[in-house]
Amino acid sequence: MFLIAFPLLLIPFALYNMIAFLLGMTFGDEVFSIPMLSGERMPVATGDVLVLLAVLLLYVEIVKSTRLANKAIIDHVLSLVIFMAMVIEFLTVKKAATSTFMILTALSFVDVIGGFSVTLRTAQRDIAIEGTEPVTHGR
């Protein structure tokens, strides 16, 4: 799979920065609205779309972390680097001090912790399965 060594949460991180710095939009701007059965229309903002995209990509990241490969370790390290960059940007850049960016940073944290946890758990299971050969004594 070609996406193994590419941290997918880089996509919403990059999109956030493009929207905030290049387009100058705010994340409360309505992108579209969804008609509800009650007759009301639910507005969907730019930040909502970005967070929804990040949640979907987080799911793919967790699924990717179940594979054992050298590329998976590189993927986890890159995810950690993205998380650290997001924390630094959140704390130091004025345009990143939004609830949308805070949620994206939290999702990146879940990606890092979840990825390492799933990989370690999968590796423990593989070691236990491979180490169950019967031992015969005296022969």
Separation of alpha carbons 33 and 40, rounded Å:
10
Domain range for 94: 10-130
At 70, phi and psi to the nearest 5?
-65, -30
pLDDT of the chain, 139 residues: tens digit per residue: 455 678 899 999 999 999 999 998 889 989 999 999 999 999 999 999 999 999 999 999 888 877 766 677 788 889 999 999 999 999 999 999 999 999 999 999 999 998 888 877 766 655 555 555 665 666 5
Q: How far apart are the first and last CA of the chain?
A: 46
> Is residue 91 domain-resident?
yes
> Is residue 100 domain-resident?
yes
- Look at the pTM and tell me if it is higher than 0.75: yes
> Is residue 139 domain-resident?
no
> Is residue 4 domain-resident?
no
> Is residue 3 domain-resident?
no
> Is residue 137 domain-resident?
no
Q: DSSP readout, 12-81? A: HHHHHHIIIIII---TTSEEEEEE-TTS-EEEEEHHHHHHHHHHHHHHHHHHHTTS-SHHHHHHHHHHHH
Residue type, position 82, single letter: I
> Is residue 138 domain-resident?
no
Tokens 């799911």 locate to 59
